[in-house]
Amino acid sequence: MAFEVNTEVFRAFSTYATVVILKMMFVSMLTVYYRVTRKAFDNPEDVKSGRTMEEKKRMLRTDADVERTRRCHQNDLENIVPFVVIGLLYSLTETNLSSALLHFRIFVGFRFFYMLAYLIPLPNPSRGLSWIVGMCVTFSMAYNVLTRAMFH
């Protein structure tokens, strides 16, 4: 079997995967920001800045913004990691650049929208719809990888 790799597709994948991973890392940094500004920590060793024992105890608490940002980050992990893994295989098997770009752009665009929908928050079903679009893109890439692997 001849194994053909379109370097333009791979280059596009590298770009979009990096952008969406940076976006995910931004959400992680935002969690840190909310933790520090809201003084809401999970671990006793993180509350050193508290002056009294009483203050340290108060800082061991949950905060709605921290938890929302954490859930957004968790969802990124559940969706962006599969996109990167399957997208890598897809970018090694897809030779049509416009089809690949369509997949990458839709996924990345809708993950940005998902983040806004979760963090602002926007009324539902905006978050649910943006999540499902991203899932469909990953499933479509997986379908392409599997059919190429089986039938070529």
Ligand X SMILES: N[C@@H](CCC(=O)N[C@@H](CS)C(=O)NCC(=O)O)C(=O)O
3-state DSSP helix/strand/coil percent for the chain, to nearest 5? 80, 0, 20
Residue 17 C-beta: closest distance to ligand X, Å: 20
Site pattern 35..74 for ligand X (x: CB under 6 A): ------------------------------------x---
Q: Taking the CB of residue 121, how many other CB atoms lie within 10 A of it? A: 12
* Binding span for ligand X by CB under 6 A among 6-14, 37-45, 127-135, 144-152: 127-135
- C-alpha 122/C-alpha 137 separation (Å) is 22
- Closer residue to ligand X, CB minimum distance, 44 or 128: 128
The structure tokens 């996924």 sit at: 107
Q: Enumerate binding residues for ligand X (CB under 6 A).
A: 71, 75, 78, 127-128, 131
